[in-house]
């Protein structure tokens, strides 16, 4: 029978890979410290250069004067207007028009489209040959992927014309599925 080896005070094992890992970590820390110091020195040098250039500009009178409150307000309003216009231009107008053109409009005539990109709504003015055609057009728009919450705002029968068409206005939510930054 083999003797049992009981070790109640275990010796710490230090292995070669452990020492290599420790040494590599210390080298990496020293490298990162050196890189940090180099970056700090470069930042201080660039800040000093910027300070020197600003002083030269100030001596020559070329530095931009601070804006007054009214100028700042006008500038902010201009920036807000540019953002609003950019948001409208970035909407997928082609998809909306393609969806409207793809709708079967045998008995429907679109009179006007009034999109409001800020609210995400589309107002449609149209004329239908009869009431079932108007209701079918409303259902088709509601079933489309581009529009939701299509609601009939008003409708009226045009008595002046012999065919007695129905003019109506629809309001729909125009949800953009993939917003662009």
Residue 140 and residue 105 in contact, taking contact as beta carbons nearer than 8 Å: no
The verdict on 100 and 58 lying in the same domain is no
In a domain, 181, yes or no: no
Report how far residue 134's alpha carbon sits from residue 142's, in angstroms, rounded to the nearest whole number. 12
**Residue 88, CB half-sphere, CA atoms under 13 Å: how many?**
13
* Owning domain of residue 29: 19-62
In a domain, 12, yes or no: no
Q: What is the tens place of the pLDDT at every residue in 128-142?
A: 999 999 999 898 888
- Based on the fold, state whether residues 51 and 117 are members of the same structural domain: no
Residues paired with residue 156 on neighbouring β-strands, in sequence order = 167
Q: Read off the DSSP letter of residue 143.
A: H
Q: Assign 180 a pLDDT band (cuts: 50, 70, 90).
A: very low
State pLDDT tens for residues 92-128.
Answer: 777 788 888 887 778 898 899 888 877 888 899 999 9
Phi and psi at 106, nearest 5°, equal: -65, -40
- Residues 124 and 56 both lie in one domain: no
């Amino acid at each position: 029978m083999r003797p049992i080896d009981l070790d109640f005070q275990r010796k710490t094992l230090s292995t070669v890979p452990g020492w290599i890992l420790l040494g590599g970590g210390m080298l990496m820390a020293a490298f990162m410290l050196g890189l940090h110091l180099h970056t700090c020195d470069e930042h201080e040098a660039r800040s000093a250069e910027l300070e020197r250039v600003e002083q030269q500009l100030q001596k020559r009178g070329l530095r931009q004067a601070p804006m007054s409150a009214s100028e700042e307000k006008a500038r902010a309003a201009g920036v807000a207007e540019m953002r609003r216009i950019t948001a409208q231009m970035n909407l997928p107008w082609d998809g909306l028009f393609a969806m409207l053109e793809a709708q079967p409009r045998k008995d429907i005539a679109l009179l006007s489209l009034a999109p409001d990109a800020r609210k995400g709504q589309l107002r449609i003015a149209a004329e239908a040959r009869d009431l079932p055609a108007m209701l079918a057009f409303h259902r088709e728009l509601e079933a489309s992927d581009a529009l939701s919450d299509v609601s009939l705002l008003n409708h009226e029968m045009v008595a002046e014309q012999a065919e007695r068409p129905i003019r109506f206005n629809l309001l729909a939510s125009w949800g953009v599925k993939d917003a662009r930054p």
